[in-house]
């Protein structure tokens, strides 16, 4: 391993540890009643788990962004992206990381950095919950 690749690997490991410490949302583990309000510097994205998708998780997005509206409303994936490290964490929403919204039409957009998330839904026992992240 070269010095450069060792430095990059070390920086990535530190970044992943920081994201785990800050906490994040592993979106592929959310139940069908989950809704997220994701705040970036520019827009607030309302993202819901599509309760009619059983094979592959899908998400429904609603946002005032004209770019997003032109893409459609069905997402096939949401990943977190570090612009500094050019690194993607699959199925993750993390503080300060941009979202990569993968649309059903196989196009993607990258949002601004995530500032905060409100997560609501019901547990498997039917108990309603609400969590605030990072604000």
- Per-residue model confidence as pLDDT tens digits over 20-58: 787 788 888 888 889 999 999 889 999 998 887 767 778
Range of the domain at 99: 24-133
Radius of gyration over every alpha carbon of the chain, rounded to an integer in angstroms: 16
First-to-last alpha carbon distance for the chain, in angstroms, is: 40
Helices (H) and strands (E) in the chain, counts: 2, 10
Residue 11 lies in a domain: no
44 found inside a domain: yes
Q: Is residue 72 situated within a structural domain?
A: yes
Give the per-residue pLDDT at 118: 95
Number of domain units in the chain:
1
Burial label for 134, CB within 10 Å (0-12, 13-18, 19+), is: middle
The confidence band for 124, taking pLDDT boundaries of 50, 70 and 90, is confident
Look at residue 8 in the predicted model and tell me its pLDDT.
66
Averaged pLDDT for residues 83-90: 80
């Amino acid at each position: 391993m070269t010095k450069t690749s060792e430095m990059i690997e070390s920086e990535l490991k530190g970044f992943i540890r920081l994201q785990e410490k800050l906490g994040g949302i592993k979106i592929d583990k959310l139940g069908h009643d989950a809704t997220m309000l994701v705040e970036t510097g520019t827009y607030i994205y309302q993202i819901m788990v599509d309760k009619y998708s059983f094979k592959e998780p899908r998400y429904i997005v609603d946002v005032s962004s004209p770019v997003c509206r032109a893409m459609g409303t069905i997402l096939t994936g949401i990943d977190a992206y570090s612009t500094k490290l050019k690194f993607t964490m699959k199925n993750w929403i993390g503080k300060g990381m941009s979202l990569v919204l993968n649309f059903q039409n196989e196009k993607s957009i990258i949002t601004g950095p995530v500032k905060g998330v409100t997560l609501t839904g019901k547990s498997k026992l039917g108990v309603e919950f609400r969590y605030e992240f990072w604000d």
